[in-house]
């Protein structure tokens, strides 16, 4: 089986055998996973706070919208029922 991995503008070809040693395959997997984890950008404290404020703001907007929609539809249904 041939596996092609695109990595920052260059192509790396690897040949992996599905019938290889499971322990060496596992070790290789965890080494590659660790290398990928090193590339992860974790947000700073300021970015986390800014994102949290944005989420809370949108939460309030949607809550108000759904509350108003519920009141309007409830009144319309009340008028239809009576």
pLDDT tens column, 23-65:
999 999 999 999 999 999 999 999 999 999 999 999 999 999 9
Strands (E), 1-82: 2-7, 10-15
- pLDDT value of position 52: 98
User: Is the pLDDT at 18 greater than 70, yes or no?
Assistant: no
Beta-bridge partners for 4: 13
* pTM, rounded to two decimals: 0.53
- pLDDT value of position 70: 98
User: Is the pLDDT at 80 greater than 80, yes or no?
Assistant: yes
């Amino acid at each position: 089986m041939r596996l092609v991995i695109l990595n920052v503008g260059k192509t790396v070809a690897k040949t992996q055998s599905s019938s290889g040693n499971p322990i060496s395959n596992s070790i290789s997997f965890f080494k590659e996973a660790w290398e990928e984890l090193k590339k992860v950008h974790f947000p700073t404290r300021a970015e986390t706070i800014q994102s949290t404020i944005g989420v809370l703001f949108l939460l309030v907007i949607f809550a108000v919208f759904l509350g108003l929609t519920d009141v309007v539809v409830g009144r319309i249904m009340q008028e239809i029922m009576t």
